[in-house]
Amino acid sequence: MTNDAFPPFAFNTTPSVRFEAGAARRFGAIAGPILGARILFVTDPGLRALGLCDAALASLEEAGIAVTIFDRVEADPSLATLTAAVETGRAAGVTGVAGFGGGSSLDVAKLAALLTGSGEDLDAAWGVGNAKGPRLPLALVPTTAGTGSEVTPVSIITVGEEEKRGVSSPLILPDIAVLDPELTLGLPPAITAATGIDAMVHAIEAYASKSANNNPLSKMLARQALQLLGAHVETAVFAGHDMAARSAMLLGSMLAGQAFANSPVAAVHALAYPIGGTFHVPHGLSNALVLPHVLRFNAPEAAGLYAEIAADAFPELAHEDGTQGRCGSFIEALAALSKKLGLPAQLREVGIGEEHLAKMAADAMKQTRLLVNNPRELREADALAIYRAAW
């Protein structure tokens, strides 16, 4: 018997989420019992240099846990970096993996836990639902409010010079996510802005996703995320030590992550990947650069959906009359927000030439796992037109 009102769906998320200011200082007590006696601690050199990892590492030492530190993760992490992390973990005989940092470190930690635990062939694991497992116990600690990687079953790795590949499987959801807003207090305004817009993109695309698994839980979480992010992103950017704003952004990012982990993102991300992969533009900024242009393209099919969430992000739009008018105002408000936060508005501002746009459009079409979720079918000519509008 069919049920058109409530079609079947699956919803998977991190089984335990710990949200607490100062939680990193007690990371050993919180995550130690899960991770075991010997852990691989995955992070990046910038966080190590800033001392942001020190409290968590000290707490692990106090808990009597042997820690092997891998701090070589770069933005858009490479296959070579992942391989090095796995080799480091295997050599140390680790019993668990902790990821500490932005989305790049968390993505490397996810696959390090999988490959160290299972020994499986990564080439066979790429794609959706192909990982076999088992993985090692895994704890993730985000230090930015943007990717939501701590609650998503996806890890993205750069293969070769430009290609990004992903593993998507509930197997790489961590056992626990530890959210400590204190870790985000020192984020520079530009990173805060880009990651904040990134989280909003996750919520918007999850809500409007054409995925058969778009579901009431994801929609609810996406709207709650937009309410938190829209209300606090400016304060977080311009008054970065406001703990309430930082807490709201970290929580909103996680909620958006839970939403798109189950109702996957679409063309904004597909068109952002060539910007990041080829030109090494940070992921959140890549999304921000194409966001309004993709939404304008989608509006003929998705105006009603965008109108439904417009006032979640921008309460003043509640008084806007008509679906089309509210949708249009929502898109313009997002474009204006990016500018207000100080983000570049055009591709040419990040070093992309007009001569690069055709190859970018061709590369974007390779992201079939994302494009299939877009509310309006997008062809290569459409991608090129969007890039030209963004240029």
pLDDT digit of tens for each residue in the chain (391 aa)?
Answer: 456 778 999 999 999 999 999 999 999 999 999 999 999 999 999 999 999 999 999 999 999 999 999 999 998 899 999 999 999 999 999 999 999 999 999 999 999 999 999 999 999 999 989 999 999 999 999 999 999 999 999 999 988 877 788 999 999 999 999 999 999 998 999 999 999 999 999 999 999 999 999 999 999 999 999 999 999 999 999 999 999 999 999 999 999 999 999 999 999 999 999 998 889 899 999 999 999 999 999 999 999 999 999 999 999 999 988 999 999 999 999 999 999 999 999 999 999 999 999 999 999 999 998 999 999 999 999 999 999 999 9
* Pair 30, 165 in one domain: yes
* Pair 165, 293 in one domain: no
* Pair 267, 222 in one domain: yes
User: Distance between CA atoms of 335 and 376, rounded to whole angstroms?
Assistant: 20
For residue 11, being part of any structural domain is answered with: no
Q: At 247, which CATH number? A: 1.20.1090.10
- The helix/strand/coil state of 68 is strand
Q: What is the pLDDT of residue 250?
A: 98
* Pair 117, 199 in one domain: no
* Pair 45, 175 in one domain: yes
CB 201 within 8 A of CB 146: no
* Pair 208, 236 in one domain: yes
Domain boundary among 183, 199, 222: 183
Residue type, 204: I
What's the total number of domains in the chain? 2
* Pair 177, 231 in one domain: no
For residue 8, being part of any structural domain is answered with: no
* Pair 260, 364 in one domain: yes
* Pair 239, 179 in one domain: no
Angle formed at CA 227 by CA 175 and CA 167, multiple of 5 degrees: 35
Q: Supply 140's token pair.
A: 């993730």
* Pair 208, 141 in one domain: no
Q: What is the pLDDT of residue 2?
A: 54
Query: Within the chain, where are the H helices?
Result: 27-35, 45-50, 54-62, 79-92, 103-118, 122-125, 189-208, 216-238, 243-262, 267-279, 283-313, 323-340, 357-364, 368-371, 380-390
* Pair 250, 367 in one domain: yes
For residue 256, being part of any structural domain is answered with: yes
CB 41 within 8 A of CB 120: no
Q: What is the pLDDT of residue 162?
A: 73
Q: What is the pLDDT of residue 321?
A: 86
119: left (phi over 0), alpha (psi -120 to 50) or beta: left
Domain boundary among 183, 217, 240: 183
Domain boundary among 183, 204, 237: 183
For residue 367, being part of any structural domain is answered with: yes
Domain boundaries, position 199:
185-390
For residue 312, being part of any structural domain is answered with: yes
Q: What is the pLDDT of residue 163?
A: 79
* Pair 178, 316 in one domain: no
Q: At 28, which CATH number? A: 3.40.50.1970
